Amino acid sequence: MGLMRRAIAREEQDRRRTMEEERRTQDRFASTLVIAASIIAAVRLAREPDISRPSPRRTAVVAERYFPNPDDLAGRAALSG
Q: pTM for this one?
A: 0.43
Q: What is the DSSP string of 34-53?
A: HHHHHHHHHHHHHT-S--SS
Residue 81: predicted pLDDT:
47
Give the C-alpha separation, 81 to 78, whole Å: 5
Residue 41, number of CB atoms within 10 A of its CB: 17
Over residues 19-40, mean pLDDT: 86
For the chain, the structural domain boundaries read 2-80
Q: Is 69 left (phi over 0), alpha (psi -120 to 50) or beta?
A: beta
Q: How far apart are CA 65 and CA 80, in angstroms?
A: 14
74 in Cβ contact with 65 (< 8 Å) = no
Taking only the tens place, the pLDDT of each residue in 34-76 is 888 888 888 877 877 776 766 666 667 666 666 666 555 554 4
